[in-house]
Structure 1
Amino acid sequence: MFDHFVWSVVICPVLVVVAIRYLADRLRPEIAATVLATSLTAAAAACLVTLAAFAVKALAELPAAGSLLRFSAGYVRADTAREPWVSWLCLAMVLAALAGIARVWRAHRRDTAYARRFTTLPAVDGRLVVIEDDRVEAFAVPGAGGRIVVTTGMRAALDDAQYAALLAHERAHLAAHHHRLVLLARLSAAVHPAFRLLTRKFDYLVERAADERAAAELDDRRAVAVAIGAAALVSDGGHGSLRMTPSREDLRRAGAVPRRVASLLAPRRTRSPLPLVVPAAVAAFSLAWTAECVYDLGELLLAAQR
Structure 2
Amino acid sequence: MFDHFLMSVVVVPPVLVVLVRLLADRLSPQVAAPVMAWSAAGAAVASLVNLVVFALKAVAEIPAVGSLFGWSSRIVVDDTARFPWVSWLSVVLLAAASASMTVTWRRQRRLLALAGAGSGLGAVVMVPDTAAHAFAVPGKPGHVVVTTGMREALSDEQFAALLAHEQAHLDARHHRLILVSELAAASHPALWWVTRHVDYLVERAADERAATTVGSRRTVAQAIGAAALAATARPSLNAGLHAASPGGVVPRRVASLLKPRGWAAAPILAVAPLGLAIFSLAWTVEAAWDLGELIVAALP
Alignment match of 1:277 (pick from 252, 271, 274)? 271
Shift of 1:237: 4.0
Alignment match of 1:221 (pick from 217, 222, 238)? 217
Say yes or no: does 1:302 pair with 2:270: no
2:136–2:145 contact (8 Å) kept in structure 1: yes
Say yes or no: does 1:170 pair with 2:166: yes
CA distance in structure 2 between the partners assigned to 1:198 and 1:278 by the alignment: 15
Shift of 1:21: 2.4
Mark the runs of 5 or more structure 1 residues left unpaired by the alignment: 239-253
Structure 1 counterpart of 2:219, one-letter code: A
Structure 2 counterpart of 1:186, one-letter code: E
1:221–1:265 contact (8 Å) kept in structure 2: yes
CA distance in structure 2 between the partners assigned to 1:270 and 1:236 by the alignment: 31
Say yes or no: does 1:258 pair with 2:248: no
The TM-score with structure 2 as length reference comes to 0.93
Tell me the equivalent position of 1:20: 20
Say yes or no: does 1:286 pair with 2:280: yes
Structure 1 counterpart of 2:93, one-letter code: M
CA distance in structure 2 between the partners assigned to 1:83 and 1:193 by the alignment: 23
Alignment match of 2:155 (pick from 134, 155, 159)? 159
1:98–1:191 contact (8 Å) kept in structure 2: yes
The TM-score with structure 1 as length reference comes to 0.91
Tell me the equivalent position of 1:210: 206
Shift of 1:268: 3.6
Alignment match of 1:184 (pick from 162, 169, 180)? 180
Tell me the equivalent position of 2:240: none
Mark the runs of 5 or more structure 2 residues left unpaired by the alignment: 235-246
3-state SS of paired residue (1:133): coil
Shift of 1:199: 2.6
Alignment match of 1:128 (pick from 124, 127, 139)? 124
2:44–2:184 contact (8 Å) kept in structure 1: yes
Tell me the equivalent position of 1:104: 104
Q: How many residues align?
A: 287
3-state SS of paired residue (2:132): coil
Tell me the equivalent position of 1:46: 46
Following TM superposition, the consecutive aligned residue runs of length 4 or more in structure 1 with deviations greater than 2 angstroms are none
Structure 2 counterpart of 1:274, one-letter code: I
